[in-house]
C-alpha cells in the first residue's frame, strides 16, 4: 500500500471514529450538459458528483458555521451546472457537529427542490464496532433520513468490517441495507472501500434479494494503488458504477501544498501530521513536478491532469468511472477562494478526442496506439520519479 493510501484511509477512519466519540473538490459545466449515467435503480446520475467530507469537520478541515452560506452557493453552482447528485456520510462532522453534512445537504436539497431542481443524495453509513445487527443499520439509515429531511436515494456501507476480521458484522449490516431498501428507506444501495472479492460477495447477496447495488466508491488517484486490485474490472462485469474518491489526494495532486524538506504544511496539526510523510517524500516531489510540466505543456492545470488519470483509468472502462471531482479531462480549473472549491468550465469538445494524449500513464502503453515523443518522455520521467512505477508498468 502506498503512503498516500495509508494516510488517507487512516484519516478517514480516525475522523469517523472521533466523530462518534466526541467539500470535496468538484467541477461544473454549462446547464444541462453534464452527461448522465444510468443505474440499476432506474434513475440517472450525472457523471459529476460532489462530496461533503469537509462540511462540519473541524478536526481536519477547520469547518466554521459561518461558511454555511458559501457552501450553499457551492451547492447551487453545481446544481445549476447540471450536476444532480451529492455524497455525504453519517460520520461527516466532528464532535457535536456529527451529522452536520447531512443536515446541510438536506437543507440545500430542499431549497433546490422548491426551485424545481431534482437532486439525488447518497450517504455512507459507518460500520462502527457497535453496529452489529441488521436493525442497527436500519436505525442508522432512519437517523440519516431524519437529518436529510427525506429518504436517501443511495444508502452505502462506508467500509468493510470483513477487512479487519469482522465478517459476522459485515453480513449483519448488508442484511440491514437489504431491509432498508425493502422498507422504502432508500431507493438503492452502494458500497465504499470494497475490493474485488468483497464486492462480488456483497453483490451476490443484494442480487439474491433483488436489491439494486449501483456503485462502489474506492480511493483512486495517481498516489493510490487501487487500480491494481481489479475492482474496476469487477465493477464493469457486474454493471456497478465505480466512483473515485480522493482523486486529487486531498489536494496534494492539485499542487495545493508545498513539498520537500522545507515544506510548509497546514495550520491544522493533524493534517500536517498525516501529510508530512507524503509531502516530504522525494518521489512525491518529482511526481508533482512532472504533473506541473505536463499541465503547462498542455495548457491545463495539475488538477486536470491528475483527475484525467482517475477518469480515464479503470481497466479501460472509462464509461464506468465517475468521480466526485468530475470530468477533469473535459474541464478547466479555476479557484473559488471563498468556498475553497475547484470549479471547472467546459473545454472544447476536442479534449474528448485527445483524452489519451492528455492522460499521463496511458501514453506509451495503450494497445494499438503509437506513443508520442512527449508520451515516452513522460513515462520515463514517471518511472524515474519512483512514485508512479506501479502505474507505468503493465
pLDDT per position as a tens digit, 382-393: 444 333 333 332
Helix (H), strand (E) at residue 278: helix 269-279
Provide the pLDDT for residue 48.
65
**Cα–Cα nearest to 27, from 74, 92, 68, 88:** 74
| pLDDT for res 178 | 98
92 is catalytic: yes
Assign 308 to helix, strand or coil: helix
241-245 and 213-219: which strand pairing? parallel
Distance CA 291, CA 69 (A): 34
Tell me the pLDDT band of 141, cut-offs 50, 70 and 90: very high
Which CATH number applies to 3-282+300-348: 2.40.30.10, 3.40.50.620, 3.10.580.10, 3.20.20.100?
3.20.20.100
> How confident is the prediction for the chain on average, in pLDDT?
69
Most confident segment among 205-209, 302-306, 339-343, 370-374: 205-209
From the list 285, 297, 307, 303, the residue with the least C-alpha distance to 387 is 285
pLDDT tens per residue, range 349-360 = 222 222 223 333
Which is the catalytic residue, given 63, 92, 181, 245?
92
pLDDT band at 242 (very low <50, low <70, confident <90, very high): confident
Q: What are phi and psi of 346, to 5 degrees?
A: -65, 140
**CA pair distance 5, 12, nearest whole angstrom:** 11
What are the extents of the domains in the chain? 3-282+300-348
pTM: 0.70
Place of cell 474541464: 331
Amino acid at each position: 500500500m502506498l503512503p498516500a493510501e495509508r494516510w488517507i484511509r487512516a484519516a478517514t477512519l480516525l475522523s469517523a471514529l472521533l466523530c462518534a466519540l466526541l467539500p470535496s473538490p468538484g467541477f461544473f459545466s454549462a446547464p444541462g450538459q453534464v452527461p448522465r449515467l444510468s443505474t440499476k435503480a432506474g434513475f440517472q446520475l450525472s457523471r459529476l458528483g460532489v462530496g461533503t467530507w469537509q462540511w462540519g469537520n473541524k478536526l481536519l478541515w477547520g469547518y466554521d458555521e459561518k461558511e454555511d452560506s458559501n457552501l450553499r452557493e457551492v451547492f447551487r453552482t453545481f446544481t445549476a451546472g447540471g450536476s444532480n447528485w451529492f455524497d455525504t456520510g453519517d460520520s461527516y462532522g466532528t464532535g457535536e457537529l456529527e451529522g452536520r453534512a447531512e443536515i446541510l445537504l438536506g437543507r440545500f436539497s430542499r431549497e433546490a427542490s422548491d426551485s424545481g431542481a431534482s437532486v439525488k443524495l447518497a450517504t455512507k453509513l459507518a460500520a462502527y464496532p457497535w453496529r452489529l445487527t441488521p436493525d442497527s443499520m436500519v436505525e442508522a439509515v432512519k437517523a440519516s433520513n431524519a437529518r436529510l429531511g427525506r429518504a436517501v436515494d443511495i444508502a452505502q456501507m462506508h467500509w468493510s468490517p470483513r477487512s479487519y476480521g469482522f465478517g459476522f458484522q459485515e453480513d449483519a449490516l448488508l442484511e440491514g441495507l437489504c431491509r432498508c431498501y425493502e422498507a422504502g428507506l432508500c431507493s438503492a444501495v452502494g458500497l465504499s472501500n470494497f475490493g474485488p472479492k468483497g464486492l462480488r460477495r456483497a453483490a451476490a447477496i443484494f442480487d439474491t434479494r433483488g436489491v439494486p447495488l449501483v456503485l462502489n466508491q474506492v480511493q483512486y488517484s495517481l498516489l493510490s494503488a487501487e487500480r491494481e486490485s481489479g475492482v474496476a474490472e469487477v465493477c464493469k462485469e457486474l454493471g456497478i458504477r465505480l466512483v473515485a474518491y480522493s482523486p486529487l489526494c486531498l489536494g496534494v495532486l492539485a499542487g495545493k501544498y508545498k513539498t520537500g524538506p522545507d515544506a510548509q504544511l497546514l495550520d491544522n496539526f493533524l493534517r500536517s501530521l498525516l501529510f508530512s510523510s507524503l509531502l516530504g517524500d522525494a518521489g512525491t516531489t518529482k511526481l508533482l513536478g512532472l504533473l506541473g510540466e505536463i499541465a503547462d505543456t498542455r495548457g491545463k492545470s495539475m488538477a486536470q491532469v491528475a483527475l484525467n488519470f482517475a477518469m480515464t483509468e479503470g481497466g479501460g472502462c472509462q464509461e464506468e468511472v465517475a468521480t466526485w471531482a468530475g470530468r477533469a479531462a473535459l474541464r478547466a480549473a479555476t479557484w473559488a477562494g471563498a468556498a475553497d472549491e475547484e470549479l471547472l468550465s467546459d473545454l472544447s469538445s476536442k479534449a474528448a478526442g485527445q483524452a489519451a494524449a492528455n492522460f499521463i500513464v496511458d501514453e506509451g502503453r495503450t494497445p494499438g496506439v503509437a506513443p508520442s515523443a512527449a508520451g515516452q518522455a513522460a513515462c520515463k520521467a514517471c518511472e524515474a520519479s519512483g512514485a508512479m512505477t506501479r502505474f507505468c508498468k503493465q
